[in-house]
């Protein structure tokens, strides 16, 4: 396969994006609904500027950016993490839950057919990439809420990895939090950010037992997409500028933080982790 990923923290070489030309806030998650209820107006010019700043950060880090063809009427297609997931054996096509997003599959299928194919297709139910964490070689975590990712689909995905000798953990959590990457993201080998107030104590213990150290993020910061960051590998991470407290903690850990302004996207319920689908990483 052209594209393989075996961790969240190996040096990122290639990423799949979608330009935000059709981006709009739609009431499909708790964060976007709160934004719409506040009466704040979306600045289309600001959306373009912020997205360009994110892309510039990726390119500055040496990441090659690939783009999906836009599907008309798909305002959340910019969140490319959800519609596919790259594995050590090639890409998996996922199943999107929200009717407003299901049409995204067409450009995703087109991209992978053009780029050498894919490994699997999810068939047991809905599952979205924001709930999947390929933590490191041999270790997988899949979240499920019963909506965006259903338990049966999470079990199917985890089973594919277990058949290859990996250890997998399923993590149930409340739909209020959208995806697992709102509550947890790896930032470097053996280091993650997490909303410890929400994640189950058993999950936190499981992570620590496997050598994953956690930087805590408060509930308030979490609901501003504070945990939703992107590890670039080699001690670098992309974290939005408004993550001031977390960014200070990341720098205190010795990480280089690239901090584009992304609040117009996080107010829609998705951050930099949501907007990037890694296609190829080095093995850490």
pLDDT in tens, 161-196: 999 999 999 999 999 999 999 999 999 999 999 999
Residue 158 clears pLDDT 90, i.e. is over it = yes
Confidence band, pLDDT 50/70/90 cuts, at residue 284: confident
* Averaged pLDDT for residues 271-279: 98
What architecture is domain 12-277?
Answer: 5-stranded Propeller (3.75)
Report the alpha-carbon distance of residue 257 to residue 274 in Å, rounded. 18
Helix (H, G, I), strand (E, B) or coil at 212: coil
So what's the pLDDT on residue 102? 95
Three-state DSSP class for 178?
coil
Determine the pLDDT at residue 75.
Answer: 95
Query: pTM of this prediction?
Result: 0.96
Q: Which residue has the tokens 């979490």?
A: 222
pLDDT band at 148 (very low <50, low <70, confident <90, very high): very high
Which residue carries 């996080």 as its tokens? 266
Contacts for 67-72: CB closer than 8 Å, 24+ residues apart: 67/16, 67/17, 67/18, 67/19, 68/16, 68/17, 68/18, 68/104, 68/107, 68/108, 68/111, 69/107, 69/110, 69/111, 70/18, 70/19, 70/21, 70/22, 70/107, 71/103, 71/104, 71/106, 71/107, 72/22
Any idea where the domains of the chain sit in the sequence? 12-277
Interacting residues of 248 by C-beta distance below 8 A, sequence separation 6+: none
Task: From residue 188, give the alpha-carbon distance in Å to each of 13, 146, 173.
Answer: 16, 29, 24
Residue-wise pLDDT for 31-78, tens only, equals 999 999 999 999 999 999 999 999 999 999 999 999 999 999 999 999
Reported as a single tens digit per residue, the pLDDT across 195-236 is: 999 999 999 999 999 999 999 999 999 999 999 999 999 999
Whether pLDDT at 27 is above 90: yes
- Residue 16 CA to residue 278 CA, distance in Å, equals 6
* Helix (H), strand (E) at residue 156: helix 151-162
Cα–chain-centroid distance for residue 4?
16
Give me the sheet containing 256-258, strands edge to edge.
Answer: 230-233, 236-238, 256-258
pLDDT recorded at residue 209: 98
Report the pLDDT value the prediction gives residue 84, as an integer from 0 to 100.
98
Residue in this structure with the two tokens 């999470």, named with its chain if needed: 154
pLDDT in tens, 244-272: 999 999 999 999 999 999 999 999 999 99
Q: Average pLDDT of the chain?
A: 97
Write the pLDDT tens digit of every residue in 74-124.
999 999 999 999 999 999 999 999 999 999 999 999 999 999 999 999 999
* Residue position matching structure tokens 């496997």: 210
How far apart are the C-alpha atoms of 157 and 164, rounded to whole Å?
A: 12
The C-alpha atoms of residue 252 and residue 32 are separated, in whole angstroms, by: 32
The residue ranges of DSSP E strands in the chain, in sequence order, are 12-17, 64-67, 84-87, 90-93, 120-121, 132-136, 139-144, 167-172, 184-188, 191-194, 213-216, 230-233, 236-238, 256-258, 277-281
- Whether residue 1 is predicted with pLDDT greater than 90 in this model: the reply is no
How far apart (Å, rounded) are the C-alpha atoms in residues 2 and 184?
Answer: 28
Quote the pLDDT of residue 137.
98
């Amino acid at each position: 396969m052209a594209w393989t990923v075996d961790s969240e923290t190996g040096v990122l070489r290639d990423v799949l994006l979608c330009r935000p030309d059709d981006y709009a806030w739609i009431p499909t998650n708790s964060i976007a609904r709160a934004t719409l209820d506040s009466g704040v107006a979306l600045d289309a010019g600001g959306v373009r500027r912020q997205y360009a700043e994110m892309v510039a950060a990726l390119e500055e880090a040496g990441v090659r950016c690939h783009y999906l063809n836009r599907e008309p009427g798909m305002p959340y297609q910019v969140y490319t993490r959800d519609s596919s997931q790259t594995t050590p054996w090639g890409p998996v096509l996922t199943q999107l839950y929200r009717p407003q997003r299901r049409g995204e599959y067409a450009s995703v299928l087109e991209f992978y057919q053009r780029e050498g194919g894919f490994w699997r297709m999810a068939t047991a139910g809905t599952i979205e990439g924001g709930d999947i964490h390929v933590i490191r070689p041999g270790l997988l975590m899949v979240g499920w809420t019963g909506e965006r990712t259903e338990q049966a689909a999470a079990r199917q995905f985890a089973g594919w990895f277990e058949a290859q000798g990996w250890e997998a953990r399923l993590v149930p959590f409340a739909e209020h939090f959208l995806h697992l990457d709102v509550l947890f993201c790896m930032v470097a080998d053996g280091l993650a950010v997490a909303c410890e107030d929400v994640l189950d104590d058993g999950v936190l213990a499981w992570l620590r037992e496997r050598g994953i150290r956690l930087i805590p993020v408060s509930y308030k910061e979490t609901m501003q997409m504070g945990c939703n960051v992107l590890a670039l590998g080699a001690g670098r991470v992309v974290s939005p500028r408004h993550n001031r407290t977390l960014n200070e903690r990341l720098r205190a850990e010795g990480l280089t933080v690239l901090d584009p302004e992304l609040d117009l996207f996080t107010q829609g319920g998705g951050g930099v982790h949501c907007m990037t689908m890694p296609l190829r990483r080095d093995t850490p």
